[in-house]
Structure 1
Amino acid sequence: MVLHYFGMSVNTMSLGGLAIAIGSLVDDAIVDVENVWKHLRENRALPKEERLPVLEVVFNASREVRMPILNSTAIIIVSFIPLFYLSGMEGRMLIPLGVAFIVALAASTLVALTLTPVLCSYLLGGKKDGVARREAFVARWLKKHYERWLVWALDHKRPVVAATAVLFVAALGLFFTLGHSFLPKFNEGSFTINISSLPGISLDESDKIGRRAEEILMSVPEIQTVSRKTGRAELDEHALGVNVSEIEAPFELKDRSHEELLDDVRHRLSVISGANIEIGQPISHRIDAMLSGTQASIAIKLFGDDLNKMFDLGNQIKAAVSDVEGIADLNVEQQVERPELEIKPKREMLKLYGIPMADFNTFVRVNMAGETVSQVYDDGGSFNLVVRAAEHDRCDMERIRDLMVDTPDGRKVPLANVAEVTSTMGPNTINRENVKRKIVISANASGRDLRSVVNDIKRRVDAKVDLPDGYHVEYGGQFESEQSASRVLLLASLLSIVVIFLLLYMQFRNALESGVILLNLPLALIGGVFALVMTTGEVSIPAIIGFISLFGIATRNGMLLINRYNMLCADGDDSLRQSIVHGSLDRLNPILMTALCSALALVPLALRGSLPGNEIQSPMAKVILGGLLTSTFLNAFIIPIVYEWMNRKGVVRSKERSSKE
């Protein structure tokens, strides 16, 4: 309903948001049910005359965890807010994922706060025998060993904290060695191959090159069929000359990976000479075209005035970067000179005959290009009626010179009298960006992350290519969008962390305790970084979104622990150490169950990232999964240690005051 209200559809991204949220949907209910069950069990263990009514026990138990549940959900939602600051294509792709996740999480929280306590009173409190059930064997075994490990950690605080700090520093160092890319590599099940020969080539010759490429592709075992378009109509949204062929080649992976198949196709097509070849995929090609105007992930845009000079400089750039590790499909935009006729007005003679420049331009345009003056209907179809000079008067330079121009006083003068008609050579196409002429050197990255390849290209161009005055280079493509999106996410994430701290402060009214809960952020970062190091080795925009989401999810455990510690310390029945150990054991079950549910829901996305449609969700799932593992494990020891450090002075002072009294 919410997706429909916002004009969104159920697609791969919104379904991915629901898939990532599945594990978190039951977290709030788990915390509530486990706490109710614990209090009911404790209530049944009391003498019969001291037992409370079931409804009162359920109410007190649910109220105990109500605010941590509500605030933890709010924090997770806030952690997803940076996603909505993304603009452009990445925003349109990822925002539906965030909307689906947030709506599903908010609905699950509403159910946990309202329906779940009611169901607990009916389903968990209906036993009339009054016998207190024991905990499950696994829970008792875990608590037994966890208590021993926790006491050891509290007795050896410095080594435990030091080891955790070393892990964090190592993860931070590894993070800066990771590669960077805009989006993970897609597996779309089809190749889109562009073959560009020299402009001006005949359709027959271009067709021969296309047929040869088709024969080569059909020799690849994984490719069963191909389809080709050579050229596109002039009125097409993306018009192409007959020198350009676009081939679609669906494939089915068998014994080789996608990268191995792609390298094999590149190697086989490299035997075609006299043509630029770019290999991509249907969606990837269109993404590249939207981002840089080229069908490649890297676009080196050379700006200047003289196209011939620019073409020479473009080939110099190509030679300078050709041996960069990881570069593939390196091409310079095809430019050839074609014969053309230049008609240059003689302004003095036009003035002498009284012919305005506008009239002269109209004469040349109408006679050479023609002008539509009406339409003719024939057999149900309409055809433009175009007026222009006869074909035999336009195909010879001397005849063009003899075309008669009307003067205002009714005389006729040859075109040669008022203009210079010469044969020259000119470029086949002139592309502009921001009014400046440009030529594009395009490339793709293969076997290496995009940003590292671009950084090496920049260094090579700066060191080896000397650009004259008036010429400059700009870099475009996916990496440019990746840098822009990373900056936006960084600033928005800092704002989200501030908001998360304020929400924690509203819960605990203590800046130190709020800061202790935020320790989950570096603990989660450790696992997220190691997960990337052991899998893709690259930080992409979806992976960054995973880190941001993880920060919100990881704070839940800290809130549960701190809230329980404070309640036990407020009762005053136990010492600080006993309150910490008792509180940690009380919250062990819900913490492990929520982490396990979230992790199990993410495992299919993390392990099946190579399947079509899972490429974007998979990096997010890997980061969240790795971060959950480390934050859950380390949180169980670091939070108790820091809480005891933080409260030891207060306990000592209270003891001193009591001894004096």
Structure 2
Amino acid sequence: MVPFWIIFPEVRQLDLDDLRNVVMATVNNAPVYLRQIAEVSFSAKVKRGEAGYQGKPAVIVSVEKQPDVDTVKLTRQIEQALGEITQTLPDGIKADQILFRQANFIETSIANVERVLLEAIVVVAAVLFLFLLNVRTTAISLLAIPVSILTTAVVFHLFGLSINTMTLGGLAIAIGELVDDAVVDVENIFRRLGENRRAGNPKSVFQVVVEASNEVRSGIVYATMIIILVFVPLFALSGIEGRLFAPLGQAYIISILASLFTSITLTPVLASWLLPGLKNLEEHDSRFLKALKRGNAALLAVAFRHQRLLVGTIALAVLGAGIAAWQLPRAFLPPFNEGSFTVNMTFNPGISLAESNRVGLIAEQLLQQIPEVSAVGRRTGRAELDEHAEGVHASEIEVELKGGEGRPKEALVADIRQRLAVLPVSVNVGQPISHRLDHMLSGVRAEIALKIYGEDLDALRRIANSLRERFATIPGLTDLQVEKQVRIPQLEIRVDYTRAALYGVQPAAVVDQISRLSNGRVVSTVVDGVRRFDVLIRLPEDQRTTVGLGDLLLETPSGWVPARQVADIRETDGPNQILRENTRRRIVVQANTNGDSDMTTIVAAMRAAIAQEKLPPGFFTSLEGTFQAQEDATRTIAALSALSLALVFALLYSRYRSAALALIIMGNVPLALIGSVAALWLVGQPLSVASMIGFITLTGIAARNGILKISHYLNLALHEGVPFGKDLVVRGSLERLTPVLMTALSAGVALVPLLYDAASPGKEILHPVAVTIFGGLISATLLDTLLTPILFLRFGRRPLERLRSAPVQPASSAGAPAPIREAF
């Protein structure tokens, strides 16, 4: 056969006779038509894949959105367009069958977090009223919540920031703290107004309110500054964890700043209007508070008698908590509950599309039998222009779940694996978003990926299979498989350079001519209205063999010669694909965890198994996955947290001009560690980036308690002349017991809605944060009640004397009030 390279102009009709009658050459004054040397007919393109929906053939369309576009709004617009398209389609064809809708997860998550916000506001209001037993003081304090939330929304709108699950989560975590500044201010104003009335009203209401507000203003301002400082590590996180938690930090900080602004402006004004006329102003403490104060005074008396024992016991508890924290299981992020699964099935390469599709249909039917499954869709094979090109040996199944109650996610995953185990496939079960996160971290859609690098493909496969066998003995690993790089039948063309040179043809030209007719070449386009069809030239199936290609005539400067004269064409085998990373050949052993095992333990066992494998020279491995991101995030948070604590110390030292007082206040941070670790252990939560974010948040909250007490001790000594000693410490502790307990309880109970139903979408990533804060608040508040008074009594005399001897502010003019020291 003599090959012809034909370039047809664009054809605007579908009559094949026009193509058949194209004259190719003239031989002996007679035309040679295309129909004489080729068969011209319609034919479908070579299929690269199949798809199914609910066990029936389908076409699956994946829609990707642009960045910074509202997912929910765009989804609704697409659904509306699909509904309009469906009305124009023939009977039996629909375009509105939605298989995976990311907006479902977003809408459910936002709805859950919004409900958490409302529940948190209710329980905070109940706590405040329990302590204050006064509608006006409770209302003034609660007003900080809507004002702060609205201010946050306005700031987000002005700066073009979106409201999402994480921003709402930041507000949910901050709800209890939004009232803290207002509570401290209102409680102090209420107490001072009562003292003023009992004294016969020697001062005006305005003066009492201003002095009472100024008395605590410094403390709440510095406490807010500390909260902002400790959040610095959050914004330094890179990668996925940074993108996830940065919006949470933004919402948290903006709302806290709005709360501070409210407490120093709106709260005193409302207090001056609403509180002076109260009938029960002189009766400041309820019976409940009086009982608490009596109990606190008794505990302080015991603590003063056993100071060394108490401090030593707390120090041992902190040390034990640190050791326990190191032993906690590790995880990168809490598992999402997306309401759907992504199942990747892989055959051995070389399987036909028909067989792969047949087994894929069986898999669909098996998954449809699961009671919790509402829809199943499958894509077998992915074309070159797809975002994830795959051969026909790979299938991806989307499993949409029904809403409502059902088995937990772990049970469903186990059921899926069990049902698909009867098929001759490798299975990897995950979730759509989680799989994409895994792919972003390691380039592989699995939690753990061992990448083996080397040049010899056979050696790579041998090492990978050996390591897979070693990993199979590690408890907790599932979906263990080696990347499908295997040998498949191939036609090999080896050009003989010497013979090619005799005919004056370049080796590349030989290969190019053979591959054009073997693989086919598009030479023109047929146009039918708005549709276009390629015109393809290719050898018949029976000639695309070693014999047929060997007989193929090649054009050379010396004339037409059979391909076998310049090349050896033979059947052999070769790799189905060669994957590279950083210019090196590599193969991957991938696996997931079962969700119950410690990732750190699994990774340590895998590293030990890798160390036992003897690698040939030039081969090396890299173990990657979510654990690697967790390790990097832990190091980043640890380093920047140390810097934040140093800045906090500098801030406190600049305020109190005493290292001892600054360290006493910062002593609340390790006290919080005790409860946080205990809470994580009790609920079975691993140490993840989310729980570390919770401890960062807790650091600022815990420091507030110390600031309130130390500042009040100093104010009593400097402004009211109370001599240093136990009486000073006891009085200061009892007078600050109410605001300390109220702020701690408000922050704690506001987190209760996040503590239960942890698997709900939107709450799963906030649950570890809430657990960490809640547990830490309990230990920090209870232990601070005894430890801070003891430490101040032991180390506070010298700092107090230095502050007492510091110069006071002079009077501004004659007749002005007597000079006073700045309130702490």
TM normalised by structure 1 equals: 0.93
Match of 1:596 in 2: 745
Separation (CA, whole Å) in 2 of partners of 1:413 and 1:316: 49
Of 684, 700, 703, the match for 1:536 = 684
- Which whole-Å CA distance do the structure 1 matches of 2:702 and 2:281 have between them? 37
Deviations 1:358-390 (A, max 9, x none): 54454345344445455432232123445x553
Equivalent position to 2:629, from 474, 481, 492: 481
Amino acid at match of 1:519: G
Match of 2:312 among 153, 162, 171: 162
Match of 1:523 in 2: 671
Instruction: Note the C-alpha offset of 1:605.
Output: 0.8
Which among 128, 146, 171 is matched to residue 18 of structure 1? Answer: 171
Q: What's 2:273 paired with?
A: 122
Aligned length: 647
Instruction: Please say if residues 44 and 130 of structure 1, whose CA atoms lie closer than 8 Å, have aligned partners that are also in contact.
Output: no
Query: Which of these residues, 520, 535, 545, is aligned with residue 396 of structure 1?
Result: 545
The partner residue of 2:711 within 554, 563, 571 is 563
* Secondary structure at 1:29 match in 2: helix
Name 1:513's counterpart in structure 2.
Answer: 661
Q: Which amino acid is the alignment partner of residue 621 of structure 2?
A: V
Q: Deviations over 1:27-46 (max 9, x none)?
A: 11011111111111111110
The one of 436, 457, 462 aligned to 1:307? 457
Structure 1 residues 469-507: Cα deviation after superposition (integer angstroms, max 9, x where no partner): 222221111111111111111111111111111221222
Residue 429 of structure 1: how far off its partner (Å): 1.6
Q: For residues 214-240 of structure 1, give each alpha carbon's deviation from its aligned partner in whole angstroms, at most 9, with x where no partner exists.
A: 333344333344332222333211122
Report matched runs for 1:153-302 at 5 Å.
153-251=303-401, 254=405, 256-272=407-423, 274-302=424-452
Residues 453, 363 of structure 1: alpha-carbon distance in 2 compared, 3 angstrom cutoff: same
Q: Is the 8 A contact 1:68 1:563 kept in 2?
A: yes
CA shift digits 1:32-67 (9 cap, x unpaired): 11111111111111034xx10000000001111111
Which range is displaced more, 289-298 or 33-42?
A: 289-298
Distance 1:404 1:218 in 2: 54
CA gap of 1:414–1:630, structure 2 versus 1, over 3 A, is same
Say whether 1:443 aligns with 2:591: yes
**Structure 2 residue identity aligned to 1:237:** E
The 10-residue stretch of structure 1 (348-357 or 281-290) with the greater mean CA deviation from structure 2? 348-357
Relative to structure 1, is the Cα distance of residues 410 and 63 closer, same or farther in structure 2, using a 3 angstrom cutoff?
same
2:298 to 133, 145, 148: 148
Q: Deviations over 1:321-363 (max 9, x none)?
A: 1021111111112233222122223333344444345544543
**Contact 2:685 2:768 survives alignment (8 Å):** no
Task: Tell me the equivalent position of 2:796.
Answer: 647
Counterpart of 1:658 in structure 2 is none
For 2:405 and 2:212, locate their aligned partners in 1 and report how far apart those are by CA, in whole Å.
Answer: 55
CA drift at 1:630: 0.6
Matched, 1:616 2:769: no
Aligned to 2:93: none
Instruction: Provide the rounded CA distance (Å) in 2 between the counterparts of 1:517 and 1:392.
Output: 83
Shift of 1:246: 2.0
Residue in 1 aligned with 2:208? 57
SS at match of 1:473: strand
- For the residues of structure 2 that align with 1:613 and 1:291, how far apart are their CA atoms? 22
Q: Is the 8 A contact 1:372 1:384 kept in 2?
A: yes
So what's the TM-score if we normalise by structure 2?
A: 0.75
**Is the alpha carbon distance of 1:374 and 1:3 closer, same or farther for their aligned partners in structure 2, counting shifts above 3 Å?**
farther
- Residue 41 of structure 1 is matched in structure 2 by 194
Q: Secondary structure at the match of 2:760?
A: coil
Summarize the Cα distance change of 1:414–1:121 in structure 2 as closer, same or farther, 3 Å threshold: same
- Which residue in the other structure is 1:659 paired with? none
CA distance in 1, matches of 2:524, 2:648: 68
Residue 661 of structure 2 contacts residue 796 of structure 2 at CA under 8 Å; is this kept in 1? no
Identify the residue that residue 735 of structure 2 maps to in structure 1: 586
- Distance in structure 2 (CA, Å) of the matches to 1:305 and 1:140: 78
- Name the Cα RMSD after superposition: 2.3
Give the Å deviation of 1:245. Answer: 2.2
Q: Say which SS state the counterpart of residue 679 (structure 2) adopts.
A: helix
Q: 2:339 & 2:394 partners in 1: Cα distance?
A: 23
Does the Cα contact within 8 Å between 1:393 and 1:400 map onto a contact in 2? Answer: no
Asked if 1:630 corresponds to 2:783, the answer is: no
Cα distance in 2 between the residues matched to 1:392 and 1:205: 20
1:281-338 deviation per Cα after TM superposition (whole angstroms, max 9, x unaligned): 2211121122122221011112222222222221111111102111111111223322
Aligned equivalents of 1:131 and 1:457: distance in 2? Answer: 68
Shift of 1:266: 2.5
In the TM superposition, residue 131 of structure 1 has moved relative to its aligned partner by 6.6
* Paired residues of 1:168 and 1:522 also in contact (CA < 8 A): yes
Q: Say if 1:394 and 1:475 are closer, same or farther in 2 by CA, change over 3 A.
A: farther
Q: Is contact 1:3-1:9 (8 Å) kept? A: yes
CA distance in 1, matches of 2:791, 2:309: 13
8 Å contact 1:576–1:651 — kept in the other structure? no
Structure 1 residues 424 and 7: alpha-carbon distance in aligned structure 2, compared to 1, 3 A threshold: farther
Alpha-carbon offset, residue 279 of structure 1: 1.1
Alignment partner, residue 568 of structure 2: 420
Answer yes or no: is the 8 Å Cα contact 2:671–2:779 preserved in 1.
yes
C-alpha deviation, 1:141, in angstroms: 1.2
Q: Where do 5+ consecutive residues of structure 2 fail to align?
A: 1-153, 804-824
Which residue identity lines up with residue 191 of structure 2 in the other structure? K
Q: Which residue of 1 aligns with 2:756?
A: 607
Aligned position for 1:461:
610
In the TM superposition, 1:127-142 aligns within 5 A as 127=278, 132-142=282-292
Distance change >3 Å, CA 4–CA 404, structure 1 → 2: farther
Displacement after TM superposition at 1:212 (Å):
2.9
Structure 1, residues 436-475: CA drift from partner, whole Å, max 9, x if none? 1111111111120222211111112222x22222222211
| Greater displacement, 513-522 / 242-251 | 242-251
Q: Please, which moves more after superposition, 162-171 or 256-265?
A: 256-265
**Whole-Å separation in 1 of the counterparts to 2:535 and 2:640:** 59
Structure 1 unpaired stretches of 5+: 655-661
From 211, 215, 222, the counterpart of 1:71: 222
8 Å Cα contact 2:658/2:799 also seen in 1: no
Q: Call closer, same or farther: CA 1:255–1:88 in 2, change over 3 Å.
A: closer
- Distance in 1 (CA, whole Å) between partners of 2:512 and 2:401 is 54
8 A Cα contact 1:375 1:382, kept in partner: yes
**Comparing 31-40 with 375-384, which one deviates more in the overlay?**
375-384
3-state SS in 2 of match to 1:99: helix
Q: Secondary structure at the match of 2:392?
A: coil
Distance in 2 (CA, whole Å) between partners of 1:498 and 1:364 is: 71
Distance 2:200 2:547 in 1: 119
* CA 1:278–1:114: 2 relative to 1, 3 Å: same
The Cα shift of 1:415 comes to 2.8
Cα separation, 1, equivalents of 2:158 and 2:503: 69
Secondary structure of residue in 2 paired with 1:507: helix
Deviations 1:251-305 (A, max 9, x none): 3575643323333332333232x21011112211121122122221011112222
Aligned amino acid, residue 27 of structure 1: D
Aligned to 1:496: 644
| 1:316 equivalenced with 2:469 (yes/no) | no
**Whole-angstrom CA distance in 2 between matches of 1:653 and 1:131:** 37
How many percent of aligned residue pairs carry the same amino acid?
42
Paired residue secondary structure (1:179): coil
